[in-house]
Amino acid sequence: VQLAESGGGWVQTGGSLRLSCAASGSTFEHFAMGWFRQAPGKEREFLASVSWNGANEYIANSVIGRFTISRDTNMMYLQMNSLKPEDTAVYYCVADRDFCAGYGCRPADFGSWGQGTQVTVSS
């Protein structure tokens, strides 16, 4: 599965952005997908995931109530509202055959990664 993120950019505190992830490949329809982010000097943080059919979703406690995940055909989205400076990071789209949800999901649990898109939130 090949993944490509878009939609990152600069926004002021309290603003919104919607990240998109375009997936391609012969079997991506059966892949679970998700989002990580990595802020400067910090480890990659698991944010959200959605199962292959959209029936199951997970949002990390750190962003619940502000971020939502969705998918449609060959696209996945991360709607980010009420953005804060601490949301500044590179955001990565990920995919894997197995659906991972919860605090214990690690980067190694996802076999496919996009190149990342920068999100900068100014105070």
9 pLDDT exceeds 80?
Answer: yes
Dump pLDDT digits (tens) for 12-48: 999 999 999 999 886 778 899 999 999 999 999 999 9
Task: Work out the pLDDT band at 73, boundaries 50, 70, 90.
Answer: confident
pLDDT at 75 (0 to 100): 93
Dump pLDDT digits (tens) for 78-99: 999 999 999 999 999 999 999 9
Calpha distance 13→38 (Å, rounded): 19
Distances (CA, A) of 73 to 20, 24, 53, 98, 101: 12, 10, 10, 18, 21
Residue (of 54, 56, 52) closest to 101 by Cα position: 56
CB atoms within 10 A of CB 82: 13
pLDDT at 94 (0 to 100): 97
- CA angle, residues 53, 67, 21, in degrees to nearest 5: 55
pLDDT at 103 (0 to 100): 86
The secondary structure of residue 107, as a DSSP letter, is G
